[in-house]
């Protein structure tokens, strides 16, 4: 029995000693790492400079060298993030942080040293930067604005329609490329948008078709389309026919004196449609053939809030007398 108790006590003490040894080992390792990282080290870091906010027509050429080699001295803790990769990206604003000369953009390190301080911190010493000025070669492409054409196949649920017209976020698009290519481009068409049985407002984003591949760029390359969709109904009003450009000294007897106009309007505006919102004329300037005794009618005035309108009769008959 005593042997069994002694063996268990020994086993317990052994496990405790192992745990204690492990604890001191980890603590010693952490202390060592803390000591090491508290020391100063010299590190070479490569900055991959990327120009942002470029003008649309400017293209950076592939022969540009956009790497800056920075030698920095700092505590190990500050350099820890460069342990696995010594290359970092740094965005440069092309509108405010560079200057132009000939066909190049230049980023001067001395004028933008604060950017290095932002990257490495105030406690780091920047020993050297090579080169002290980074050069980006560029080329300028031609550009022009061309009309934008909406390619749509939209059908509405019964009794619904769009108020007015579908609206695009812009009616033209900037085309950028070589002058020879863009001179032949007269318009840009959207990707087809197909919607069926629509009974609510339209709010969609559409890409633009680029049939020239990487030869041109479109700015923007997609647009927004919006439309207010409401319930619509038809109405009918009897409108008097107005004669214009009647020959001097002639009396015109014509029939009918009034014609029906059918209009299509949303329900919100149905009750405000009045006969005086419309005008139907018969223009005697178009009377060329004296053997005929009729003239076409024209609906020359409709209110803006009416989607469409038409006369149920297309012509009048008349007799001219002195």
Cα separation, 172 vs 289, in Å, equals: 45
Nearest-CA neighbor of 311 among 295, 290, 322? 295
Q: At 37, is the secondary structure helix, strand, or coil?
A: helix
The structure tokens listed for 254 are 């014509």
Cα separation, 186 vs 177, in Å, equals: 14
Instruction: Report the range out of 8-17, 40-49, 98-107, 196-205 with the highest average pLDDT.
Output: 196-205
Which H or E run includes 263?
strand 258-266
Higher pLDDT: 162 or 18? It is: 162
| Per-residue confidence (pLDDT) for residue 57, from 0 to 100 | 86
| Per-residue confidence (pLDDT) for residue 156, from 0 to 100 | 96
Q: Are 280 and 224 in contact (CB under 8 A)?
A: no
Nearest-CA neighbor of 283 among 322, 240, 250, 315? 315
Per residue in 30-77, pLDDT (tens digit) is 444 445 445 677 888 888 888 899 888 888 887 667 888 888 787 766
| Per-residue confidence (pLDDT) for residue 12, from 0 to 100 | 55
The structure tokens listed for 82 are 């460069």
| Per-residue confidence (pLDDT) for residue 122, from 0 to 100 | 75
Mean residue pLDDT of the chain comes to: 83
Task: Provide, rounded to the nearest whole percent, the portion of the chain with pLDDT above 70.
Answer: 83
Cα separation, 82 vs 47, in Å, equals: 12
Q: How confident is the model at residue 221 (pLDDT cuts 50, 70, 90)?
A: very high
Nearest-CA neighbor of 252 among 260, 244, 264, 263? 244
| Per-residue confidence (pLDDT) for residue 37, from 0 to 100 | 45
Higher pLDDT: 236 or 212? It is: 236
What values do phi and psi take at 300, rounded to 5?
Answer: -100, -5
Per residue in 239-276, pLDDT (tens digit) is 999 999 888 877 888 899 999 999 999 999 999 999 99
| Per-residue confidence (pLDDT) for residue 201, from 0 to 100 | 96
Q: Is the pLDDT of residue 207 over 80?
A: yes
Nearest-CA neighbor of 209 among 199, 198, 197, 218? 218
Q: At 54, is the secondary structure helix, strand, or coil?
A: coil
- Delimiting residues of CATH 2.170.120.40 domain(s) in the chain: 142-227
The pairing of strands 133-140 and 167-168 is unpaired
Q: Which fold has domain 38-140?
A: RNA Polymerase Alpha Subunit; Chain A, domain 2 (2.170.120)
| Per-residue confidence (pLDDT) for residue 144, from 0 to 100 | 93
Per residue in 144-200, pLDDT (tens digit) is 999 999 999 999 999 999 998 999 999 999 999 888 889 989 999 999 999 999 999
| Per-residue confidence (pLDDT) for residue 268, from 0 to 100 | 94
CATH tag, 142-227: 2.170.120.40
| Per-residue confidence (pLDDT) for residue 30, from 0 to 100 | 46
Q: Measured on CA atoms in the order 20, 22, 27, 28, is the torsion positive or negative?
A: positive
Please report how many Cα atoms fall inside a 13 Å half-sphere around the Cα of residue 238, on the Cβ side. Answer: 3
Q: Are 147 and 172 in contact (CB under 8 A)?
A: yes
Mean pLDDT within 116-139? 82
| Per-residue confidence (pLDDT) for residue 293, from 0 to 100 | 80
Q: Are 36 and 76 in contact (CB under 8 A)?
A: yes
- Domain 233-321 classified CATH 1.10.1040.10? no
Nearest-CA neighbor of 160 among 57, 233, 231, 79? 231
- Delimiting residues of CATH 2.170.120.30 domain(s) in the chain: 233-321
Q: Are 79 and 52 in contact (CB under 8 A)?
A: no
Q: Are 234 and 312 in contact (CB under 8 A)?
A: no
| Per-residue confidence (pLDDT) for residue 212, from 0 to 100 | 86
Q: How confident is the model at residue 119 (pLDDT cuts 50, 70, 90)?
A: confident
| Per-residue confidence (pLDDT) for residue 187, from 0 to 100 | 95
């Amino acid at each position: 029995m005593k042997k069994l108790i002694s063996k268990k006590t020994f086993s317990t003490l052994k496990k405790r000693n192992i745990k204690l040894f492990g604890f001191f080992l980890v603590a010693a390792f952490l202390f060592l790492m803390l000591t090491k990282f508290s020391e100063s080290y010299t590190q070479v870091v490569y900055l991959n400079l990327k120009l942002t906010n470029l003008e649309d027509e400017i293209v950076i050429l592939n022969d540009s060298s956009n790497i800056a080699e920075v030698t920095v001295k700092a505590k190990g803790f500050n350099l820890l993030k460069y342990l696995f990769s010594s290359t970092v990206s740094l965005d440069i604003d092309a509108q405010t942080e560079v200057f132009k000369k000939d066909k190049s953009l230049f980023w001067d390190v001395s004028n933008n040293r604060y950017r290095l301080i932002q990257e490495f911190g105030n406690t780091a010493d920047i020993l050297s930067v090579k080169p002290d000025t980074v050069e980006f070669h560029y080329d300028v492409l031609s550009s022009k604005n061309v009309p934008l054409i909406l390619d749509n196949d939209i059908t509405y649920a019964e009794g619904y329609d769009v108020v007015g017209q579908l609206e695009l976020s812009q009616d033209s698009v900037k085309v950028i490329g070589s002058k020879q290519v863009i001179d032949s481009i007269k318009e840009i068409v959207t990707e087809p948008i197909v919607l069926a049985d629509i009974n609510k407002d339209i709010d969609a984003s559409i890409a633009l078709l680029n049939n020239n591949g990487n030869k041109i760029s479109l700015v923007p390359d997609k647009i927004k389309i919006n439309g207010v969709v409401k319930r619509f109904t038809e109405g009918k009003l009897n409108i008097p026919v107005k004669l214009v450009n009647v020959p001097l000294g002639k009396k015109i007897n014509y029939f009918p004196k009034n014609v029906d106009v059918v209009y299509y309007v949303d329900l919100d505006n149905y009750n405000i449609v009045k006969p005086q919102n419309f005008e139907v004329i018969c223009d005697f300037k178009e009377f060329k053939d004296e053997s005929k005794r009729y003239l076409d009618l024209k609906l020359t005035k409709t209110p803006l809030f009416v989607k469409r309108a038409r006369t149920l009769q297309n012509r009048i008959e008349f007799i001219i007398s002195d």
